[in-house]
Amino acid sequence: MPIGFDDLSAAAARRLRESGSPDIAEESGWACAWLAACAYPGVELLLEALDATPPEARHPVLEADVLGLDLGNISCVFLGPPVARMVEPQGRLFLRNVHHGLYLLPFSVKANIGIGCPVDPAFALGGERTKNPYEEKLALARQAGIVVAEPLWQRLAG
């Protein structure tokens, strides 16, 4: 069923707020819609992260060390926004123990920085991006809506 970009973003943000993650709800809700608009499993990953990660585990202290940043296998649904903010002043950051790294992609495109392979357990985030390969997909999704399977939409929107 087609869902508007803003409707999907708002539903994801509401679900995050209601499940104990108000601090990242708007940003990760937007990332969920962005991923779904680009034919990535944004909704599925968000629901999986909510099911698997208790609210008290979603806010680890993020401190870079000589090897980069250890994300402790906590979903990037919860860590995407703070990690993206950490990368901006440094320009590049190597990540370890990444889970749901695809959730870093919308933030890297938005900040116009490169990203290593988001499914690799250790990858870099940073560098300069020279073009946005997702512009066309996002424009089409905003115009025509994002196709979301009805059971996923029901689960997300409640």
Residue-wise pLDDT for 87-99, tens only, equals 877 777 888 899 9
Q: Is the confidence at residue 74, as pLDDT, over 90?
A: yes
Q: Which of 61-65, 74-78, 81-85 has the highest mean pLDDT?
A: 74-78
More confident residue, 86 or 17: 17
Largest CA distance in the chain: 47
- State the pairing for strand pair 92-96/122-126: antiparallel
Q: CA 44 to CA 8: how far, in whole Å?
A: 13
Percent of the chain with pLDDT over 70: 89
Residue-wise pLDDT for 11-36, tens only, equals 999 999 999 999 999 999 999 999 99
Residue-wise pLDDT for 32-70, tens only, equals 999 999 999 999 999 999 999 999 999 999 998 888 899
Cα distances (angstroms) measured from residue 74 to each of 20, 46, 60, 63, 99: 15, 12, 8, 14, 6
Q: CA 27 to CA 29: how far, in whole Å?
A: 5
Backbone phi, psi, residue 74, to 5°: -90, 135
Q: What is the mean pLDDT of the chain?
A: 88
